[in-house]
Amino acid sequence: MNLLILFDSDFIDEHRVCLRDRRLKHVLQVHQAQEGDTLRAGKLNGSLGEGRIITLSKSELIMDVSLHQSPPPPLPLTLIVALPRPKMFRRILRLSAELGIKQLHFIHSYRVEKSYWQSPALEESVQQEHFIAGLEQAKDTVLPTVHFHRFFKPFVEDQLPDISNNSHKLLCHPGDALPCPHQHNEAITLIIGPEGGFIPYEVEKFKAADFTQVHLGSRIYRVEHAIPLAIAKLYD
């Protein structure tokens, strides 16, 4: 972890935190820190800065923190993904937080197995765990917001126009498509399909909602790879 994320419940005083959980373990085992050392820290959804270790033992870490920097700018991108299987769902949460995506929508589509919607991975506590891991990696503090849409047609017809309003609308789907543009650098709503792809009816619905179909070349990538590939092209 490149940043210790702090929660309200960690604060024992205005500028002092006490940690006893996996973060303590990480500071001891990975950072191999000592009293007097400083560590990068940031408050969840708040500012970043440094913490100076006051006391450090196997049972607790007490740190004085000074948090005055703003978190890094978010990626101006709304990501819409067909709900993947639970293992990949968790990896996409982590990846999204790492990339700086703040608006994340998971949708149903014909090739999404219905059982995925019952997965315990969708619970908020699990989501948060994976988001935090991504934020710790990328030195960010701002949790992404997740939305779930279990019905395809009402999502595309009633909600997608508002969600994608004032943004460049891209559907990443192989076939009759333009190459994914480079360095677009503006607000984008990006849709990525399920393993096996969207069915033709779904592609047509997105096109009717003003989405431009783009591709990533002749290879077919896993969803968790298509996301960073598309985003890296679209932004500097």
Residue type, 1: M
Residues in touch with its own copies (CB under 8 A): 2, 72, 95, 98-100, 137-140, 179, 182-183, 216-222, 225, 228-233, 236
Whole-angstrom distance, CA of residue 189 vs CA of residue 169:
5
Minimum CB separation of residue 194 from its own copies in Å reads: 13
Q: Minimum Å distance from CB 57 to its own copies?
A: 25
Q: Which two tokens stand for residue 74?
A: 């978010």
Give the nearest distance from C-beta 120 to its own copies in angstroms: 22
Longest pairwise C-alpha distance within the chain:
61
Nearer to its own copies, 12 or 232 (CB): 232
Q: Is the CB of 153 or the CB of 222 nearer to its own copies?
A: 222
Residue 1 vs 19, nearer CB to its own copies: 1
CB of 124 to its own copies, least distance (A): 24
C-alpha distances out from residue 184 to 24, 79, 188, 208, Å: 41, 15, 9, 22
Least distance from C-beta 93 to its own copies, angstroms?
13
8 A C-beta contact, residue 153 and residue 199: no
Record the tokens describing residue 66, joined without a space.
């000074």
Rounded Cα distance, 149 and 157, in Å:
12
Q: Which two tokens stand for residue 19?
A: 């940690």
Closer residue to its own copies, CB minimum distance, 55 or 212: 212
- Number of residues in the chain: 236
Nearer to its own copies, 54 or 86 (CB): 86
Instruction: Pick the closer one to its own copies by CB: 149 or 193.
Output: 193
Q: From residue 8, give the alpha-carbon distance in Å to each of 13, 18, 102, 197, 198.
A: 10, 11, 21, 42, 42
Please tell me the distance from the alpha carbon of residue 216 to that of residue 43, in angstroms, as a whole number. Answer: 37
Say which residues have a Cβ less than 8 Å from residue 177's Cβ, sequence separation at least 6: 213, 214, 215
> Shortest gap between Cβ of 226 and its own copies (angstroms)?
9
